[in-house]
């Protein structure tokens, strides 16, 4: 039984004739429910320490400054009041269409870094403080820029400067966000495709190593070098993201989800889930659904 009616799909004020929509809000609390939308979104918050930011299956308590880019149209997100007691919160939200950059334009060499950043942000990315301080004044001016042309140029500058930070943090797991993220190595791509197709089954290191003509030890080292994760961690993350998606979108029991996603032991699944997410599968499901509204 599917249970898809919890996420609010936002209809944004962005018109077809505008490059982007910007809202500069001064507020005392966050009340908007968890939601998703087709538009890309750059969201900045100031003086909001203690707020919990949820993007996909990522939940983090933020500090005084936070800047996040989300380009996944099905990626649920929300900023919750949580432990924030500030009465001087500022939130700048910029929403822009995926069609803002027509394909031939974005494929030019000069836009490589922006294109890669937008692709990466399908899982949501948060920027380091150094990046936030770099664009802070431009964001501040963008909200009050009266000349539309210069506002667009300023916005492009912000995107370009942010795209220079390789240490932007990916938030949601790709399997939860329903995004395929592959290495630039063809051998690793082949293995990643196999894992994506067979994560529900028992996956053996020897099988994967044989696929690319390497010894198990050499392949393990090669995979970690190319992906930044061990093979076992990578497989667990794929299974866990798929499990969390089922917790959110279906009425399946936790035991059913555990075995459907390739975990062969319920207690092991619960232990890994709590270590990765800080709560049990049951608590995650209950907390997530409390944030949603039926429309």
Are residues 234 and 131 both part of a single domain? no
Please list, in sequence order, all residues whose beta carbon lies within 8 angstroms of the beta carbon of residue 201, skipping any fewer than 6 positions away.
262
Query: Of 127, 147, 172, which residue constitutes the final position of a domain?
Result: 172
Query: Could you tell me if residue 206 is inside a domain?
Result: yes
What is the spatial distance between Cα 175 and Cα 123, in angstroms, rounded to a whole number?
9
Q: What is the mean pLDDT of residues 77-103?
A: 88
Clarify whether residues 156 and 15 are in a common domain: yes
Query: Domain span at residue 150?
Result: 8-172
pLDDT, one tens digit per residue, over 123-171 is: 999 999 999 999 999 999 887 776 678 888 899 999 999 999 999 999 9
Query: What pTM does this model have?
Result: 0.77
Residue 2 has pLDDT above 50, yes or no: no
- In terms of domains, do 44 and 100 share one? yes
- The continuous run of DSSP H or E covering 173 comes out as none
Distance, CA of 159 to CA of 114 (rounded, Å): 7
Residues 39 and 130 in one domain: yes
Instruction: Please report the DSSP string for 146-167 in residue order.
Output: --HHHHHHHHHHHHHHHHT-TT
**Mean pLDDT value of segment 61-85:** 93
Domain final residue pick, 150, 172, 194 = 172
pLDDT beyond 70 at 104: no
Decide if 1 is inside a domain: no
**What is the rounded average pLDDT of the residues 28-33?**
89
For 206-259, write each residue's pLDDT tens digit. 999 999 999 999 999 999 988 888 999 999 999 999 999 899 888 899 999 999
Helices (H), 82-128: 103-106, 112-120
Residues 214 and 182 in one domain: yes
Residue that the structure tokens 């900023």 belong to: 79
Domain membership of residue 3 (yes or no) is no
Q: Are residues 276 and 168 in the same domain?
A: no
CATH of the domain at 38: 2.60.120.10
Per-residue model confidence (pLDDT) at position 205: 94
Domain check: are 125 and 155 in the same one?
Answer: yes
- Count how many domains the chain has: 2
pLDDT tens, residue by residue, 246-291: 998 888 999 999 999 999 899 999 999 999 888 899 998 887 766 5
Whole-angstrom Cα distance, residue 268 to residue 189?
28
pLDDT > 90? residue 27: yes
Is 295 domain-assigned? no
Instruction: Quickly state the pLDDT bin for 84 (edges 50, 70, 90).
Output: very high
């Amino acid at each position: 039984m599917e249970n898809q009616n919890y996420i609010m799909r936002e209809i944004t004020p962005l018109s077809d004739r505008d490059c982007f929509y910007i809202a500069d809000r001064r507020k005392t609390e966050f009340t908007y429910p968890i939601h998703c939308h087709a538009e890309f979104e750059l969201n900045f918050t100031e003086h909001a320490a203690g707020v919990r930011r949820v993007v996909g299956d990522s939940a983090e308590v933020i500090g005084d400054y936070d800047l996040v880019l989300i380009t996944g149209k099905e990626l649920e997100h929300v900023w919750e009041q949580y432990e924030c007691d500030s009465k001087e919160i500022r939130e700048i939200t910029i929403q822009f269409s995926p069609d803002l950059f027509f394909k031939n334009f974005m494929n030019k060499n000069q836009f490589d870094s922006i294109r890669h950043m937008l692709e990466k942000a399908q899982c949501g990315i948060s920027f380091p403080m150094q990046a936030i301080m770099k664009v802070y004044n431009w964001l501040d001016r963008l909200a009050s820029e009266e000349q539309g042309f210069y506002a667009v140029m300023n916005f492009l500058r912000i995107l370009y400067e942010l795209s220079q930070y390789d240490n932007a943090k990916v938030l949601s797991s790709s399997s939860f966000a329903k995004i395929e993220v592959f290495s630039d190595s063809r051998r690793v791509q082949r293995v990643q495709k196999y894992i994506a197709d067979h994560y529900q089954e028992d996956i053996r290191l020897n099988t994967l190593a044989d696929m690319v003509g390497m010894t198990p030890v050499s392949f393990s080292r090669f995979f970690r070098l190319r992906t930044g994760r061990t093979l076992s961690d990578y497989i667990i993350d794929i299974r866990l993201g798929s499990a969390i998606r089922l917790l959110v979108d279906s009425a399946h029991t936790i035991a059913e989800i555990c075995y459907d996603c390739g975990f062969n032991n319920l207690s092991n699944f619960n232990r890994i889930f709590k270590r990765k997410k800080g709560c049990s599968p049951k608590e995650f499901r209950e907390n997530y659904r409390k944030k949603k509204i039926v429309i």
